[in-house]
Amino acid sequence: MINESLVQLGGRLRTREVSSVELTTAFLERIARLNPVLNAFITVDRERTLAQAREADARLGRGEGGPLTGIPVAHKDIFCARGWRTTCGSRMLSNFVSPYDAHVVERLAGAGAVCLGKTNMDEFAMGSSNETSHFGPVKNPWNTAMVSGGSSGGSAAAVAARLAPGATGTDTGGSIRQPAALCGLTGLKPTYGVVSRYGMIAFASSLDQGGPMARSAQDCALLLNSMSGFDPRDSTSLERPAEDYSRGVDAARDPDRPLVGLTVGLPKEFFGPGMDADVAAAVEAAIAEVRRLGAQTVDIGLPNMELSIPVYYVLAPAEASSNLSRFDGVRYGHRSAQFDDLMDMYCRTRAEGFGDEVKRRILIGTYVLSHGYYDAYYLQAQKLRRLIAQDFVAAFRHCDVIMGPTSPTVAFALGARSADPVQMYLSDIYTIAVNLAGLPGMSIPCGFGGHGLPVGLQIIGNYFDEARMIEVAHRYQQVTDWHLRAPAL
Protein backbone atom coordinates (compact mmCIF):
# COMPACT_ATOMS: atom_id res chain seq x y z
CA MET A 1 0.00 0.00 0.00
CA ILE A 2 2.82 2.41 0.73
CA ASN A 3 3.59 2.71 -2.99
CA GLU A 4 0.04 3.54 -4.03
CA SER A 5 -1.18 7.02 -4.97
CA LEU A 6 -3.67 9.08 -2.97
CA VAL A 7 -6.29 8.29 -5.62
CA GLN A 8 -5.66 4.54 -5.30
CA LEU A 9 -5.62 4.65 -1.50
CA GLY A 10 -8.85 6.67 -1.46
CA GLY A 11 -10.51 4.04 -3.63
CA ARG A 12 -9.40 1.26 -1.28
CA LEU A 13 -10.75 3.14 1.73
CA ARG A 14 -14.12 3.90 0.17
CA THR A 15 -14.65 0.27 -0.87
CA ARG A 16 -13.61 -0.77 2.65
CA GLU A 17 -10.84 -2.94 1.23
CA VAL A 18 -8.65 -1.43 3.91
CA SER A 19 -9.43 0.73 6.93
CA SER A 20 -7.86 4.07 7.74
CA VAL A 21 -6.51 2.58 10.97
CA GLU A 22 -4.74 -0.19 9.02
CA LEU A 23 -3.37 2.23 6.44
CA THR A 24 -2.25 4.76 9.05
CA THR A 25 -0.63 2.05 11.16
CA ALA A 26 1.41 0.90 8.16
CA PHE A 27 2.83 4.40 7.71
CA LEU A 28 3.40 4.91 11.46
CA GLU A 29 5.39 1.68 11.60
CA ARG A 30 7.48 2.79 8.63
CA ILE A 31 8.10 6.16 10.31
CA ALA A 32 9.20 4.39 13.50
CA ARG A 33 11.68 2.28 11.50
CA LEU A 34 13.11 4.90 9.13
CA ASN A 35 12.79 8.27 10.84
CA PRO A 36 15.82 7.67 13.11
CA VAL A 37 17.85 7.50 9.89
CA LEU A 38 16.16 10.23 7.84
CA ASN A 39 15.07 12.66 10.59
CA ALA A 40 12.08 13.69 8.44
CA PHE A 41 9.65 14.08 11.36
CA ILE A 42 10.03 16.28 14.43
CA THR A 43 6.84 15.20 16.20
CA VAL A 44 4.82 11.99 15.93
CA ASP A 45 1.87 11.25 18.24
CA ARG A 46 0.73 7.72 17.48
CA GLU A 47 -2.36 7.74 19.71
CA ARG A 48 -3.63 11.10 18.47
CA THR A 49 -3.10 10.01 14.86
CA LEU A 50 -4.88 6.67 15.32
CA ALA A 51 -7.79 8.43 17.04
CA GLN A 52 -8.22 10.56 13.90
CA ALA A 53 -8.03 7.39 11.76
CA ARG A 54 -10.80 5.79 13.81
CA GLU A 55 -12.95 8.89 13.30
CA ALA A 56 -12.29 8.69 9.57
CA ASP A 57 -13.33 5.03 9.52
CA ALA A 58 -16.58 5.98 11.27
CA ARG A 59 -17.26 8.62 8.62
CA LEU A 60 -16.52 6.15 5.84
CA GLY A 61 -18.80 3.61 7.51
CA ARG A 62 -21.64 6.13 7.40
CA GLY A 63 -20.97 6.77 3.71
CA GLU A 64 -19.85 10.34 4.40
CA GLY A 65 -16.30 10.12 3.16
CA GLY A 66 -14.72 12.25 0.45
CA PRO A 67 -11.60 11.70 -1.67
CA LEU A 68 -9.22 12.36 1.24
CA THR A 69 -11.18 10.80 4.10
CA GLY A 70 -8.91 8.42 5.99
CA ILE A 71 -5.79 9.36 4.00
CA PRO A 72 -2.72 9.97 6.22
CA VAL A 73 -0.96 13.28 5.49
CA ALA A 74 2.11 14.86 7.09
CA HIS A 75 2.25 18.58 7.90
CA LYS A 76 5.32 20.77 7.68
CA ASP A 77 6.05 22.01 11.19
CA ILE A 78 5.40 25.60 10.14
CA PHE A 79 1.64 24.98 10.21
CA CYS A 80 -0.04 25.36 13.60
CA ALA A 81 -2.11 22.32 14.58
CA ARG A 82 -4.27 22.28 17.69
CA GLY A 83 -2.69 20.21 20.46
CA TRP A 84 0.45 19.49 18.42
CA ARG A 85 3.89 20.84 19.18
CA THR A 86 4.65 23.39 16.46
CA THR A 87 8.33 24.31 16.43
CA CYS A 88 9.09 25.83 13.03
CA GLY A 89 12.38 23.93 13.28
CA SER A 90 13.63 26.35 15.95
CA ARG A 91 14.73 26.24 19.55
CA MET A 92 12.66 29.40 19.96
CA LEU A 93 9.43 27.38 19.59
CA SER A 94 10.67 23.98 20.73
CA ASN A 95 8.14 23.92 23.60
CA PHE A 96 5.20 25.62 21.82
CA VAL A 97 1.96 23.64 21.57
CA SER A 98 -0.50 25.34 19.24
CA PRO A 99 -3.96 26.19 20.62
CA TYR A 100 -5.50 26.39 17.13
CA ASP A 101 -5.34 24.97 13.61
CA ALA A 102 -3.89 26.70 10.59
CA HIS A 103 -6.38 27.13 7.74
CA VAL A 104 -4.58 24.43 5.72
CA VAL A 105 -4.68 21.97 8.63
CA GLU A 106 -8.32 22.85 9.29
CA ARG A 107 -9.29 22.29 5.65
CA LEU A 108 -7.53 18.94 5.34
CA ALA A 109 -8.95 17.76 8.65
CA GLY A 110 -12.40 18.81 7.45
CA ALA A 111 -11.83 16.68 4.34
CA GLY A 112 -11.13 13.72 6.62
CA ALA A 113 -7.34 13.53 6.23
CA VAL A 114 -5.41 12.03 9.14
CA CYS A 115 -2.38 13.91 10.52
CA LEU A 116 0.65 11.60 10.63
CA GLY A 117 2.85 14.15 12.37
CA LYS A 118 4.89 17.32 11.93
CA THR A 119 7.85 17.28 9.53
CA ASN A 120 11.31 18.73 9.95
CA MET A 121 12.27 21.97 8.20
CA ASP A 122 14.90 24.67 7.97
CA GLU A 123 14.53 27.01 10.94
CA PHE A 124 11.68 29.44 10.25
CA ALA A 125 11.82 28.22 6.62
CA MET A 126 15.20 29.90 6.09
CA GLY A 127 17.41 27.54 4.13
CA SER A 128 17.80 25.46 1.00
CA SER A 129 19.14 22.23 2.46
CA ASN A 130 17.24 21.51 5.70
CA GLU A 131 20.49 21.86 7.62
CA THR A 132 19.48 24.91 9.69
CA SER A 133 16.89 23.02 11.75
CA HIS A 134 17.41 23.03 15.52
CA PHE A 135 16.46 19.34 15.37
CA GLY A 136 19.21 18.36 12.95
CA PRO A 137 19.38 17.95 9.18
CA VAL A 138 17.02 15.83 7.11
CA LYS A 139 18.76 13.14 5.06
CA ASN A 140 17.92 12.52 1.42
CA PRO A 141 16.25 9.07 1.08
CA TRP A 142 18.12 8.42 -2.19
CA ASN A 143 21.49 8.89 -0.48
CA THR A 144 21.60 9.70 3.22
CA ALA A 145 24.92 11.54 2.82
CA MET A 146 23.09 14.17 0.74
CA VAL A 147 20.73 17.01 1.66
CA SER A 148 16.99 16.74 1.14
CA GLY A 149 16.60 20.37 0.04
CA GLY A 150 14.74 23.03 1.94
CA SER A 151 13.01 24.44 3.63
CA SER A 152 10.32 21.75 3.22
CA GLY A 153 12.93 18.99 3.28
CA GLY A 154 11.18 16.94 5.94
CA SER A 155 7.95 16.78 3.94
CA ALA A 156 9.88 15.95 0.76
CA ALA A 157 11.91 13.17 2.41
CA ALA A 158 8.79 11.75 4.07
CA VAL A 159 6.91 11.43 0.77
CA ALA A 160 9.94 10.18 -1.18
CA ALA A 161 10.71 7.52 1.47
CA ARG A 162 7.05 6.45 1.59
CA LEU A 163 6.67 7.59 5.20
CA ALA A 164 3.60 9.51 4.03
CA PRO A 165 1.57 9.44 0.80
CA GLY A 166 1.29 13.22 0.78
CA ALA A 167 2.41 16.25 2.77
CA THR A 168 2.04 19.99 3.09
CA GLY A 169 4.88 22.40 2.46
CA THR A 170 5.50 26.11 2.10
CA ASP A 171 7.34 27.96 -0.63
CA THR A 172 8.91 31.40 -0.07
CA GLY A 173 11.67 31.19 -2.67
CA GLY A 174 11.42 27.61 -3.88
CA SER A 175 10.97 25.70 -0.63
CA ILE A 176 8.41 23.26 -2.06
CA ARG A 177 9.83 22.90 -5.55
CA GLN A 178 13.55 22.60 -4.74
CA PRO A 179 13.26 19.78 -2.15
CA ALA A 180 10.69 18.07 -4.40
CA ALA A 181 13.29 18.10 -7.18
CA LEU A 182 16.12 16.86 -4.96
CA CYS A 183 14.00 14.05 -3.49
CA GLY A 184 12.23 12.97 -6.69
CA LEU A 185 8.58 13.89 -6.10
CA THR A 186 5.98 16.40 -7.25
CA GLY A 187 5.59 19.70 -5.41
CA LEU A 188 3.31 22.60 -6.26
CA LYS A 189 3.43 26.24 -5.22
CA PRO A 190 0.08 27.90 -6.01
CA THR A 191 -0.54 31.49 -7.05
CA TYR A 192 0.03 33.82 -4.08
CA GLY A 193 -3.21 34.11 -2.12
CA VAL A 194 -4.85 30.87 -3.32
CA VAL A 195 -3.92 29.07 -0.08
CA SER A 196 -4.48 30.96 3.17
CA ARG A 197 -1.47 31.84 5.32
CA TYR A 198 -3.55 31.87 8.51
CA GLY A 199 -1.75 29.75 11.09
CA MET A 200 1.33 29.41 8.91
CA ILE A 201 4.19 30.90 10.92
CA ALA A 202 5.41 33.84 8.86
CA PHE A 203 8.84 34.21 7.31
CA ALA A 204 8.28 36.71 4.47
CA SER A 205 4.60 37.55 4.29
CA SER A 206 4.50 38.80 0.69
CA LEU A 207 6.25 35.66 -0.58
CA ASP A 208 5.12 32.74 1.64
CA GLN A 209 2.63 30.32 0.13
CA GLY A 210 1.49 26.88 1.23
CA GLY A 211 1.13 24.00 -1.20
CA PRO A 212 0.98 20.22 -1.62
CA MET A 213 3.77 17.66 -2.01
CA ALA A 214 2.99 14.17 -3.29
CA ARG A 215 4.14 11.51 -5.72
CA SER A 216 2.18 12.76 -8.73
CA ALA A 217 0.50 15.81 -10.21
CA GLN A 218 -2.87 14.09 -9.85
CA ASP A 219 -2.28 13.62 -6.11
CA CYS A 220 -1.19 17.26 -5.74
CA ALA A 221 -4.42 18.35 -7.43
CA LEU A 222 -6.42 16.31 -4.94
CA LEU A 223 -4.64 17.94 -1.98
CA LEU A 224 -4.87 21.44 -3.46
CA ASN A 225 -8.62 21.05 -3.91
CA SER A 226 -8.90 20.87 -0.12
CA MET A 227 -6.09 23.26 0.83
CA SER A 228 -7.25 26.20 -1.30
CA GLY A 229 -10.15 28.55 -0.62
CA PHE A 230 -10.93 32.00 0.72
CA ASP A 231 -10.17 32.68 4.37
CA PRO A 232 -11.31 35.99 5.89
CA ARG A 233 -8.70 35.63 8.64
CA ASP A 234 -5.93 36.20 6.07
CA SER A 235 -5.95 39.64 4.47
CA THR A 236 -3.99 38.31 1.49
CA SER A 237 -6.36 35.39 0.85
CA LEU A 238 -8.10 35.76 -2.51
CA GLU A 239 -11.87 35.50 -2.73
CA ARG A 240 -12.39 33.41 -5.84
CA PRO A 241 -14.83 30.68 -6.91
CA ALA A 242 -13.80 27.19 -5.85
CA GLU A 243 -11.87 25.24 -8.48
CA ASP A 244 -11.41 21.57 -9.26
CA TYR A 245 -7.69 21.49 -9.99
CA SER A 246 -7.90 17.96 -11.33
CA ARG A 247 -10.42 18.84 -14.03
CA GLY A 248 -7.83 18.56 -16.81
CA VAL A 249 -6.62 15.16 -15.63
CA ASP A 250 -9.73 13.34 -16.80
CA ALA A 251 -10.41 15.48 -19.88
CA ALA A 252 -10.68 13.61 -23.19
CA ARG A 253 -7.42 13.98 -25.12
CA ASP A 254 -5.70 12.52 -28.12
CA PRO A 255 -3.95 9.53 -26.49
CA ASP A 256 -0.91 9.90 -28.74
CA ARG A 257 -0.54 13.70 -28.67
CA PRO A 258 -2.38 14.99 -25.58
CA LEU A 259 -0.49 18.31 -25.47
CA VAL A 260 -1.37 19.46 -28.99
CA GLY A 261 -2.06 23.20 -28.91
CA LEU A 262 0.17 23.85 -25.90
CA THR A 263 3.01 26.37 -26.28
CA VAL A 264 5.92 25.97 -23.89
CA GLY A 265 8.26 28.90 -23.25
CA LEU A 266 11.95 28.15 -22.74
CA PRO A 267 13.75 31.10 -21.11
CA LYS A 268 17.31 31.45 -22.31
CA GLU A 269 18.23 32.51 -18.77
CA PHE A 270 17.33 28.99 -17.55
CA PHE A 271 19.66 27.22 -19.94
CA GLY A 272 22.89 29.18 -19.66
CA PRO A 273 26.00 28.66 -17.52
CA GLY A 274 25.47 27.49 -13.97
CA MET A 275 23.40 24.38 -14.59
CA ASP A 276 25.21 21.07 -14.17
CA ALA A 277 25.48 18.91 -17.29
CA ASP A 278 23.58 15.98 -15.78
CA VAL A 279 20.67 18.23 -14.84
CA ALA A 280 20.68 19.84 -18.30
CA ALA A 281 20.56 16.43 -20.00
CA ALA A 282 17.57 15.26 -17.96
CA VAL A 283 15.66 18.51 -18.42
CA GLU A 284 16.30 18.62 -22.17
CA ALA A 285 15.13 15.01 -22.49
CA ALA A 286 11.94 15.90 -20.61
CA ILE A 287 11.29 18.87 -22.91
CA ALA A 288 11.83 16.59 -25.92
CA GLU A 289 9.18 14.26 -24.48
CA VAL A 290 6.80 17.19 -24.08
CA ARG A 291 7.35 18.03 -27.75
CA ARG A 292 6.64 14.42 -28.68
CA LEU A 293 3.34 14.73 -26.83
CA GLY A 294 2.35 17.50 -29.22
CA ALA A 295 3.46 20.71 -27.54
CA GLN A 296 5.45 23.31 -29.41
CA THR A 297 8.27 25.26 -27.79
CA VAL A 298 9.28 28.87 -28.20
CA ASP A 299 12.34 30.71 -26.92
CA ILE A 300 11.54 33.53 -24.52
CA GLY A 301 13.50 35.94 -22.35
CA LEU A 302 13.26 36.91 -18.70
CA PRO A 303 15.90 39.64 -18.77
CA ASN A 304 15.58 40.66 -15.11
CA MET A 305 15.67 37.14 -13.69
CA GLU A 306 19.37 37.49 -12.87
CA LEU A 307 18.34 40.13 -10.33
CA SER A 308 16.00 37.77 -8.48
CA ILE A 309 18.60 36.53 -5.97
CA PRO A 310 19.74 40.00 -4.80
CA VAL A 311 16.14 41.30 -4.80
CA TYR A 312 14.95 38.33 -2.77
CA TYR A 313 17.76 38.64 -0.25
CA VAL A 314 16.80 42.24 0.42
CA LEU A 315 13.02 41.80 0.60
CA ALA A 316 12.76 38.43 2.37
CA PRO A 317 15.14 39.33 5.24
CA ALA A 318 13.38 42.69 5.64
CA GLU A 319 10.05 40.96 6.13
CA ALA A 320 11.66 38.31 8.34
CA SER A 321 13.16 41.00 10.55
CA SER A 322 9.68 42.39 11.12
CA ASN A 323 7.89 39.04 11.50
CA LEU A 324 10.38 37.52 13.90
CA SER A 325 10.37 40.51 16.26
CA ARG A 326 7.42 38.85 18.05
CA PHE A 327 9.68 36.09 19.38
CA ASP A 328 11.03 37.91 22.43
CA GLY A 329 10.55 35.49 25.32
CA VAL A 330 7.64 37.42 26.79
CA ARG A 331 4.48 35.71 25.58
CA TYR A 332 5.43 32.22 24.42
CA GLY A 333 8.34 30.13 23.26
CA HIS A 334 11.87 30.03 24.60
CA ARG A 335 12.97 32.41 27.37
CA SER A 336 16.51 32.66 28.67
CA ALA A 337 16.89 31.20 32.16
CA GLN A 338 19.20 33.98 33.35
CA PHE A 339 18.99 37.70 32.68
CA ASP A 340 19.47 41.00 34.50
CA ASP A 341 16.61 43.12 33.19
CA LEU A 342 14.00 43.23 30.41
CA MET A 343 16.42 44.31 27.70
CA ASP A 344 18.91 41.66 28.75
CA MET A 345 16.13 39.06 28.65
CA TYR A 346 15.26 40.08 25.07
CA CYS A 347 18.89 39.88 23.97
CA ARG A 348 19.71 36.59 25.66
CA THR A 349 16.47 34.94 24.58
CA ARG A 350 16.92 35.84 20.93
CA ALA A 351 20.63 34.97 20.97
CA GLU A 352 19.84 31.53 22.42
CA GLY A 353 16.61 30.87 20.54
CA PHE A 354 17.63 31.68 16.96
CA GLY A 355 20.18 29.82 14.85
CA ASP A 356 22.94 31.41 12.79
CA GLU A 357 21.03 31.63 9.49
CA VAL A 358 18.00 33.25 11.12
CA LYS A 359 20.23 35.75 12.92
CA ARG A 360 22.00 36.52 9.64
CA ARG A 361 18.73 37.30 7.88
CA ILE A 362 17.35 39.34 10.77
CA LEU A 363 20.50 41.49 10.74
CA ILE A 364 20.37 41.96 6.95
CA GLY A 365 16.66 42.79 7.10
CA THR A 366 17.08 45.29 9.93
CA TYR A 367 19.92 46.95 8.02
CA VAL A 368 18.01 47.39 4.75
CA LEU A 369 15.01 48.80 6.63
CA SER A 370 17.07 51.23 8.68
CA HIS A 371 17.05 54.99 8.19
CA GLY A 372 19.43 55.95 5.41
CA TYR A 373 19.32 52.56 3.70
CA TYR A 374 15.59 51.99 3.20
CA ASP A 375 15.49 54.03 -0.03
CA ALA A 376 18.77 52.66 -1.34
CA TYR A 377 17.99 48.99 -0.82
CA TYR A 378 14.41 48.14 0.11
CA LEU A 379 12.60 50.53 -2.24
CA GLN A 380 14.97 49.72 -5.10
CA ALA A 381 14.36 46.01 -4.57
CA GLN A 382 10.60 46.56 -4.71
CA LYS A 383 10.98 48.38 -8.04
CA LEU A 384 13.06 45.55 -9.44
CA ARG A 385 10.48 43.06 -8.19
CA ARG A 386 7.91 44.77 -10.37
CA LEU A 387 10.21 44.51 -13.40
CA ILE A 388 10.68 40.77 -12.76
CA ALA A 389 6.90 40.31 -12.64
CA GLN A 390 6.47 42.32 -15.84
CA ASP A 391 8.95 40.03 -17.61
CA PHE A 392 6.66 37.08 -16.88
CA VAL A 393 3.59 39.01 -18.06
CA ALA A 394 5.37 39.69 -21.35
CA ALA A 395 6.53 36.08 -21.67
CA PHE A 396 3.03 34.68 -21.21
CA ARG A 397 1.87 36.61 -24.25
CA HIS A 398 3.88 34.08 -26.28
CA CYS A 399 3.39 30.84 -24.34
CA ASP A 400 1.00 28.92 -22.09
CA VAL A 401 3.54 27.56 -19.60
CA ILE A 402 7.26 27.99 -18.98
CA MET A 403 9.62 25.07 -18.44
CA GLY A 404 13.16 24.67 -17.21
CA PRO A 405 15.21 23.17 -14.40
CA THR A 406 14.05 23.43 -10.80
CA SER A 407 17.55 23.31 -9.31
CA PRO A 408 20.92 23.85 -11.02
CA THR A 409 22.31 20.69 -9.38
CA VAL A 410 21.16 17.41 -7.93
CA ALA A 411 21.27 17.05 -4.14
CA PHE A 412 24.66 18.05 -2.72
CA ALA A 413 26.49 16.58 0.25
CA LEU A 414 25.51 17.46 3.79
CA GLY A 415 27.78 20.27 4.99
CA ALA A 416 29.11 21.07 1.52
CA ARG A 417 27.66 24.59 1.43
CA SER A 418 27.06 25.33 5.10
CA ALA A 419 30.08 27.65 5.33
CA ASP A 420 29.19 29.55 2.15
CA PRO A 421 25.78 31.24 2.43
CA VAL A 422 25.95 32.78 -1.06
CA GLN A 423 26.56 29.40 -2.68
CA MET A 424 23.61 28.04 -0.70
CA TYR A 425 21.41 30.94 -1.84
CA LEU A 426 22.22 30.16 -5.49
CA SER A 427 20.47 26.80 -5.09
CA ASP A 428 17.20 28.70 -5.62
CA ILE A 429 18.28 30.67 -8.68
CA TYR A 430 15.54 29.18 -10.90
CA THR A 431 12.72 29.30 -8.36
CA ILE A 432 12.86 32.67 -6.58
CA ALA A 433 11.56 34.79 -9.47
CA VAL A 434 8.27 32.85 -9.38
CA ASN A 435 7.67 33.90 -5.77
CA LEU A 436 8.64 37.51 -6.46
CA ALA A 437 6.01 37.58 -9.23
CA GLY A 438 3.41 35.68 -7.19
CA LEU A 439 3.01 33.05 -9.94
CA PRO A 440 2.23 29.34 -9.58
CA GLY A 441 5.00 26.84 -10.19
CA MET A 442 5.65 23.16 -9.69
CA SER A 443 8.44 20.63 -9.90
CA ILE A 444 8.06 17.10 -11.24
CA PRO A 445 10.64 14.28 -11.46
CA CYS A 446 12.20 14.03 -14.92
CA GLY A 447 15.18 11.72 -14.54
CA PHE A 448 18.34 11.09 -12.57
CA GLY A 449 21.71 12.80 -12.60
CA GLY A 450 25.03 12.11 -10.98
CA HIS A 451 25.22 9.38 -8.32
CA GLY A 452 21.67 8.27 -9.15
CA LEU A 453 20.06 11.37 -7.62
CA PRO A 454 16.75 12.81 -8.90
CA VAL A 455 16.38 15.80 -11.25
CA GLY A 456 13.32 18.06 -11.28
CA LEU A 457 11.59 19.76 -14.21
CA GLN A 458 10.00 23.08 -13.27
CA ILE A 459 6.69 24.12 -14.82
CA ILE A 460 5.59 27.74 -14.33
CA GLY A 461 2.05 28.86 -15.10
CA ASN A 462 0.28 32.16 -15.49
CA TYR A 463 -1.72 33.52 -12.57
CA PHE A 464 -4.42 31.08 -11.38
CA ASP A 465 -3.41 28.56 -14.06
CA GLU A 466 -2.68 25.72 -11.63
CA ALA A 467 -5.12 23.38 -13.39
CA ARG A 468 -3.26 23.73 -16.70
CA MET A 469 0.12 23.12 -15.02
CA ILE A 470 -1.28 20.03 -13.34
CA GLU A 471 -2.69 18.73 -16.61
CA VAL A 472 0.63 19.22 -18.42
CA ALA A 473 2.50 17.48 -15.59
CA HIS A 474 -0.04 14.65 -15.54
CA ARG A 475 0.23 14.06 -19.30
CA TYR A 476 4.00 13.85 -18.95
CA GLN A 477 3.69 11.48 -15.99
CA GLN A 478 1.33 9.24 -17.96
CA VAL A 479 4.15 8.38 -20.38
CA THR A 480 7.08 8.36 -17.94
CA ASP A 481 7.72 6.55 -14.68
CA TRP A 482 10.18 8.86 -12.92
CA HIS A 483 7.52 9.79 -10.34
CA LEU A 484 6.88 6.10 -9.57
CA ARG A 485 10.47 5.27 -8.66
CA ALA A 486 11.30 5.01 -4.98
CA PRO A 487 14.56 4.90 -3.04
CA ALA A 488 15.61 1.49 -1.73
CA LEU A 489 14.89 1.75 1.98
Active site residues: 76, 151, 175
Length of the chain: 489
Dihedral (CA of 357, 358, 364, 365) sign: positive
Give the Cα separation of 63 and 376 in Å (integer): 61
209: closest CA among 168, 263, 180?
A: 168
Q: Are 474 and 248 in contact (CB under 8 A)?
A: yes
Helix (H, G, I), strand (E, B) or coil at 116: strand
C-beta separation of 74 from 42 below 8 A: no
Question: Among 187, 151, 155, which Cα is nearest to 40's?
Answer: 155
10-17: long-range contacts at Cβ-Cβ below 8 A with a sequence spacing of 24 or more? 10/67, 10/68, 10/69, 10/70, 10/71, 10/222, 13/56, 13/60, 13/65, 13/69, 13/70, 13/71, 14/60, 14/65, 14/69, 16/60
Query: Of 222, 229, 197, 225, which Cα lies nearest the Cα of 210?
Result: 197
User: In sequence order, what E strands does 301-448 have?
Assistant: 401-405, 441-448
Check if the beta carbon of residue 230 is closer than 8 Å to that of residue 238.
Answer: yes
Distance (Å, whole) CA 93 – CA 446: 37
Nearest to 36 by CA among 136, 182, 134: 136
Q: Cα Rg for the chain, rounded, in angstroms?
A: 21
Helix, strand, coil % in the chain, rounded to nearest 5: 40, 15, 45
